[in-house]
């Protein structure tokens, strides 16, 4: 059986895993990435490709701001030709629609909260500005939030770009390679039994996405993840009419118009996840709510046919932000997963910051909100007045 010794073994070849591998390999670290399917097969390559600051959890903003700079200069990371294939379109903006007074009040409160935090990427816009930016929008739309710097990219091509860039930097990418067993060794290093043979490494990074909690559980570490199969659909081509990405506040609405005219529609609707089989399925009657939200916002789209639907397996944490952290139980183990619905844009910054944290031997302060410690059971408080 083959045996290899590395500085780092990364489990999972999605955007996060490949970005970390790329940055580590460029500093001379010996890195192997194992991926049981194809790199980017699930969440990384089949999402909506949103590049947004809009409606981010405030804890993600330092990472998201850095990531936006990196997407804006993607050619510096992956090369000019590869970068063009990623179809990065920044500055087209993303807009969150307020379709009723409750959503508009929420948007106002959100805007004020962001300003108090010193975050100025989101603007509150009124109905007049909203309709100017979105021709054909229903008259019932009252306003919303806009992040003018935002945009989108091609997720499948971007996932491939980071995979190839990691490989070009010297990382070994092993696709169709299943992790059979992972064990810590005496002295703090690791031993993995895989389809490609035995791999020994000083450190392991768990970037297994929807399977991240399963990898942790093999090592006795319980991390809360809900597995979802978020569904997308694409329509027939229509005359270009919208440039921004449009998302809902409380509505299951998310769509953009591609360069060829088709609409790519999401909305956070989950299909049927089949984690053990490594696949997922669209539940068509659930998609009706997403289609209805789109037609409610843009009535003229009522007759546009849906051509195709697809899903991708993702993992969501209870508090809605990812886990990016050293293990609480094992030396030399990191967990980097749980990005459901908002990991695509963050990937370059996560790769850079995690890699630098490993190189420095110190966890970057920007990662503090994403620690596994936040899920630790809290001690019960005793009311001394009752003693």
Read off the pTM.
Answer: 0.93
pLDDT digits over 156-182, tens only? 999 999 999 999 999 999 999 999 999
Q: What is the enclosing helix (H) or strand (E) of 71?
A: helix 61-72
CATH 3.40.50.720 fits 94-148+226-316, yes or no: no
Looking at the predicted structure, is the pLDDT value of residue 103 above 90?
yes
Contact 10, 33 (CB under 8 A): yes
Section 46-60 average pLDDT: 92
User: What average pLDDT does the chain have?
Assistant: 92
Section 274-279 average pLDDT: 85
pLDDT digits over 346-370, tens only? 999 999 999 999 999 999 999 999 9
**What is the distance between the alpha carbons of residues 30 and 172, in angstroms, rounded to a whole number?**
8
The angle subtended at Cα 220 by Cα 215 and Cα 221, nearest 5°, is 70
**What is the distance between the alpha carbons of residues 165 and 72, in angstroms, rounded to a whole number?**
17
pLDDT digits over 305-323, tens only? 999 988 888 899 999 999 9
Q: Which of 211, 212, 190, 213 is nearest to 200 (CA)?
A: 190
Model confidence band, residue 3 (pLDDT cutoffs 50, 70, 90): low
pLDDT, position 33? 98
Angle between helix axes 347-360 and 61-72 (nearest 10 degrees) is 110
Looking at the predicted structure, is the pLDDT value of residue 379 above 60?
no
State the span(s) of the chain assigned CATH 3.30.9.10. Answer: 94-148+226-316
Contact 280, 235 (CB under 8 A): no
State the span(s) of the chain assigned CATH 3.50.50.60. Answer: 3-68+155-224+318-375
In CATH, what number does 3-68+155-224+318-375 get?
3.50.50.60
Percentage above 70 pLDDT, the chain = 96
Phi/psi for 179 (5° steps) reads -80, 120
Where do the DSSP E strands lie in 236-340? 245-248, 254-257, 263-265, 272-274, 279-281, 306-316, 323-326, 333-337
């Amino acid at each position: 059986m083959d045996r290899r010794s590395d500085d780092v073994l990364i489990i999972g070849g999605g955007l996060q895993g490949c970005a970390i591998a790329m940055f580590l390999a460029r500093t001379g670290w010996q890195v192997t990435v194992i991926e049981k399917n194809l790199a980017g097969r699930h969440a990384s390559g089949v999402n909506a490709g949103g590049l947004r600051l809009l409606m981010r959890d405030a804890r993600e903003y330092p990472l998201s701001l850095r990531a936006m700079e990196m997407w804006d200069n993607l050619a510096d990371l992956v090369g000019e030709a590869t970068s063009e294939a990623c179809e990065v379109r920044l500055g087209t903006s993303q807009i969150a629609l307020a379709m009723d007074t409750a959503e508009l009040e929420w948007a106002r409160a959100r805007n004020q909260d962001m300003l108090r935090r010193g975050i100025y990427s989101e603007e509150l816009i009124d109905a007049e500005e909203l309709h100017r930016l979105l021709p054909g929008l229903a008259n019932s739309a009252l306003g919303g939030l806009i992040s003018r710097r935002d945009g989108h990219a091609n997720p499948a091509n971007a996932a491939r770009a980071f995979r190839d860039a990691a490989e070009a930097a010297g990382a070994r990418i092993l696709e169709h390679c299943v992790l059979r067993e992972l064990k810590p060794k005496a002295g703090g290093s690791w031993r993995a039994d895989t389809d490609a043979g035995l791999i020994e490494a000083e450190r392991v990074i768990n970037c297994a996405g929807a399977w991240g909690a399963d990898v942790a559980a093999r090592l006795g570490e319980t991390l809360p993840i809900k597995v979802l199969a978020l569904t997308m659909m694409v329509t027939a081509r229509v005359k270009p009419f919208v440039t921004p990405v449009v998302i809902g506040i409380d509505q299951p609405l998310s769509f953009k118009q591609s360069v060829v005219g088709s609409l790519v529609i999401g909305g956070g609707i989950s299909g049927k996840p089949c984690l053990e089989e490594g696949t997922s399925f669209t539940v068509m009657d659930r998609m009706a709510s997403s289609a209805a939200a789109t037609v409610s916002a843009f009535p003229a789209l009522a007759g546009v046919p849906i051509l195709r639907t697809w899903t991708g397996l993702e993992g969501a944490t209870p508090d809605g932000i990812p886990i990016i952290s050293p293990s609480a139980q094992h030396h030399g183990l990191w967990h980097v997963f749980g990005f459901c619905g908002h990991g695509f844009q963050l990937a370059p910054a996560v790769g850079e910051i995690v890699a630098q944290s490993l190189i420095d031997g110190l966890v970057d302060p920007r990662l503090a909100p994403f620690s596994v410690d936040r899920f630790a059971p809290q001690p019960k408080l005793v009311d001394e007045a009752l003693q």
